Structure 1
Amino acid sequence: MTLKATIVVGNPKAQSRTLEVAKSLTDKLLVPGTYMLEIIDLADHVAEIFAWPSDEMAALNARVAESDLVVFASPTYKATYTGLLKAFLDRYPTNGLVGVTAIPVHTGGDLTHAMGPTVNLAPLLAELGAVVPGRGFYFVSSQMENLDEITAQAAAEYAANLSRAANIAASLSAPVA
């Protein structure tokens, strides 16, 4: 079975460093050849993201909800995620992301708002029904020269958490739906 992984980037600038960080984390977490990756750069959808209803946005939301793993990445704006990402996530009902494992990622200029992905984005993803396998990942953008080693360390932490959860899942008495 091929895993379906998706990166959703809420940076208003297309092809941003936030996307680069999310890609690096995904590449470090998953074994090459075991997953298909879709990138949804919300900067490419600004004309539709605030339109209700929108067939284009409904299709994007459906593709994300069908993913096994989603990395939701945003630069830090006013200590939280962007309005672009919020507008995208607002389209989901409660439990709209059931079955998705979600990793919240923020980028920022310094560590001032390092708790942002954990205290702001992770609870929203959990409210939408996603499983969040640990604290959010915060990347200081001045550390781009160390991107690979920083994302490798974060990926190792997520992998350890997911492995522990898989061990528990293997011992459950009730069947997993």
Structure 2
Amino acid sequence: MALVLSVSGSPSPGSRTARLLRHLDAALALHGHDVVPLDVRSLPPEALTGADTSHPAIVEVAEQFARADGLVIGTPVYKAAYSGLLKSLLDLLPQFALAGKTVLPLATGGTPAHVLAIDYALRPVLSSMGAAHITQGWFVLDRHIAVAADGSVTVDPAAAGPLRVVLDQFSAALGRAELLPTPS
């Protein structure tokens, strides 16, 4: 069906954000999509902090963005905004790197006080980068993501139902995305 790039903007190796995304990647695969995970923290720090757009790792990531039909962009919320690590990557991509793409924004955080970070911090950036369609995003409280000793993830029913709905909407939008012209 569609190629989805699933981007985790968390700087933490044990991140609930990344674990949630990988959990959702499996659900997207069941929808018939090809999913490519990308943990921004795995990119060379010198390329990100030095704004080195010619670094081979950054060139490859830009190509992954270009090949993708859709993107899941996940971030922890720090101080009512998406992570600085995610911002570092987005700043290195071409201005219209999301042109013609369907995007699902997701965020995690410790308190519902940050629930609007998707709409007030992340969505405007995704829009300015040319996303064709930004589907309804979702904010998941950290306490609703349980990680077992074996690394498996369980999402509390309070978040699992709404997540399923936004994931289904994203998947359906990907099916229609092929009909949208890609701006040149």
TM-score, normalized by length of structure 2? 0.78
1:84–1:27 Cα change, 3 Å? same
Q: Which residue of 1 aligns with 2:164?
A: 155
8 Å CA contact retained: 1:15, 1:41: no
Aligned position for 2:95? 94
Structure in which a larger fraction of residues adopt strand: 2
Match of 1:70 in 2: 71
- Structure 1 residue 118 displacement after superposition: 1.6
The two structures have a TM-score, normalised by structure 1, of 0.81
For the Cα contact (< 8 Å) 2:69–2:174, is it kept in 1?
no
Please list the CA deviations of residues 107-146 of structure 1 after superposition, one character each: whole Å capped at 9, or x if unmatched.
1011010111121111111111112012x21110011246
Secondary structure, counterpart of 1:34 in structure 2: coil
In the alignment, is residue 41 of structure 1 matched against residue 43 of structure 2? Answer: no
Corresponding residue for residue 5 of structure 1 = 4
- 1:25 matched to 2:24: yes
Q: How does 1:42-57 map to 2 (within 5 A)?
A: 42-45=40-43, 46-51=45-50, 52=52, 53-57=54-58
Change (3 A) 1:98 1:47: same
> Hey, what does 1:110 align to over in structure 2?
111
After superposition, the Cα gap between the structure-2 partners of 1:50 and 1:137, relative to the gap in structure 1 and judged at 3 Å, is same
Residue ranges of structure 2 left out of the alignment (5+ in a row)? 147-153
Structure 1 segments of 4+ aligned residues over 3 angstroms from their partners: 25-28, 160-167
Residues 115 and 176 of structure 1, relative CA distance in 2, 3 Å threshold: closer
% same residue = 24
CA gap of 1:129–1:44, structure 2 versus 1, over 3 A, is same
Per mean C-alpha deviation after superposition, the further-off stretch among 12-21 and 46-55 is 46-55
- Displacement of 1:65: 2.6
Q: What runs of 5+ residues in structure 1 fail to find an aligned partner?
A: none
- Shift in Å, 1:68: 1.3
Q: Aligned equivalents of 1:144 and 1:10: distance in 2?
A: 17
Structure 1: how far apart are the matches of 2:8 and 2:173?
Answer: 28
1:27 deviation in Å?
3.5
Structure 1 residues 165 and 88 mapped into 2: Cα distance closer, same or farther (>3 Å)? Answer: closer
What number of residue pairs does the alignment pair up? 169
User: 1:102 offset after TM fit, Å?
Assistant: 0.9
Residues 176 and 71 of structure 1: CA distance in aligned 2, closer, same or farther (over 3 Å): closer
